[in-house]
A = this chain, B = another copy of it.
Amino acid sequence: MDQSPPRITSVTVADVAHKAGVSKATAARVLGGYGTVSERVREAVTVAARALDYRPNELARSMTTGRSGTIGVVVGDIENPFFSLAVRGITDVARQAGFTVILINSGEDVSAEKAAIRTLLAKRVDGLIVSPAKESDVEHLREATRSGLPLALLDRGSDTLDVDTVIADDRHAAEGITRRLIALGHRRIAYLTACDTPDHRFRTAGDINTGSVRRRIEGFLCVCQEADLDGMEDWVHVGAVTPEHTHRIAAAMLRTPQRPTAIIASDSLIGLEVFKVCRELGLGIPGDLSLVSFHDADWTSVTTPPVTVVRQPVYGLGETAAKLLVERLNGKGGEASRIVLRTEVVDRASIADAPV
């Protein structure tokens, strides 16, 4: 049996109006900052409001205006430094523009993402920023946009969804580092990602639902093919969803005689775990294994050796997505923009010639 809810007895415009001796409409004009009011009345209402400690009820306001002043943000996992930094970018822009942010983690699970969207729709958010778990499964997003709700996609795009999108040039970055590794003589290059497939095995890039990662793998495979390396699909490993999973996958892979001479880690969490596994197995970096990681996490410069990384403009990703969304919310129409932010390889010391 629930207690009666706390029920915060709040001061309303009517209360203020009464105290100030004016009509509700007039008090509302002063308090809401619209319409025209005389200086004298404005003063009286302001004083009354202060005396009663009036606090506007945004909920009621949203009710009539149809705008909630809220942006819904759905990301995979706020605990991941990638997302926490992107969210920081989003919240900074949102706050500046007068919006608050409702944050929901999807855990990279589409059904959770759908539930999140439903919740946010019910809360009548003014717009959405989503990092879709699966590019192939965006019906819920399409539906949201159909009702006219502005949507911006973060880090992952969708060909079938014509909305503002901000991604990094993942493919280009992957191509660059793959080329570099091949030039250093590497032939057994593994790509390790958290993205998973139903049977935890990789066959083709099409199986990968996370757009950013799919583009990277496409770039990786494409460059390999150009270099006449065949069957590199077998070197793509999926399902590194937790440190434990990553550990298991990396250890298994590095314990085989035909172990990779280079590993590309799809995010800093994975890069870190590979690093740990090498320590455990007594493999030297870059002597026995070259390591490149996506995401320039702060610690990557401080390990021995420091890790060569693909620096993504993560804060900028969030910032830009939020800016685009805010523009839409302010009524700017026109074509959906698809913005691709540049990445950059930060050369440190974790890659070297392939061992002989």
Smallest Cβ-Cβ distance to A67: which chain B residue: B5
Is A23 among interface residues, defined by CB-CB distance under 8 A? no
CA distance A95 to B92 in the complex (A): 24
A150's contact among B6, B95, B149, by CB below 8 Å, is which?
Answer: B6
A217 to B80, CA, bound (A): 30
Q: Please judge, given known A-B contacts A297-B299, A304-B304, whether A100 and B100 are in contact too, CB under 8 Å.
A: no
Given known contacts A63-B63, A102-B100, A149-B8, A58 and B304 CB-to-CB distance under 8 angstroms: no
Q: Give the distance in Å from the alpha carbon of A118 to the alpha carbon of B84 in the complex.
A: 24
- Tell me the smallest distance from the CB of A315 to a CB of chain B, in Å: 8
* B70-A63 in contact (CB<8A): no
Check A179 for interface membership: any CB of B closer than 8 A: no
State whether the Cβ of A65 lies closer than 8 Å to any Cβ in chain B: yes
Q: How far, in angstroms, from A269 to B81 measured CA to CA in the complex?
A: 13
Q: Does A101 contact B (CB under 8 A)?
A: yes
**How far does the alpha carbon of A269 sit from the alpha carbon of B95 in the complex, in Å?**
25
Chain B residues with CB below 8 A from A148, complex form = 6-8
Copies of this chain, whole number:
2
Chain A positions 96-120 with a Cβ under 8 Å from a chain B Cβ: 100-105, 118-120
CB<8 Å pairs between A and B, sample of 27: A3-B333, A5-B66, A6-B148, A7-B148, A8-B124, A8-B148, A9-B147, A55-B121, A55-B122, A56-B122, A58-B124, A78-B84, A78-B88, A79-B84, A81-B81, A81-B84, A92-B105, A95-B104, A100-B119, A100-B120, A102-B102, A269-B298, A272-B302, A276-B301, A276-B302, A297-B299, A304-B304
* Interface residues, chain A, with chain B CB atoms under 8 Å away: 2-10, 55-60, 62-63, 65-68, 70, 77-79, 81, 84-85, 87-88, 91-92, 95, 100-105, 118-124, 147-150, 243, 269, 272, 275-276, 279, 297-299, 301-304, 330-331, 333
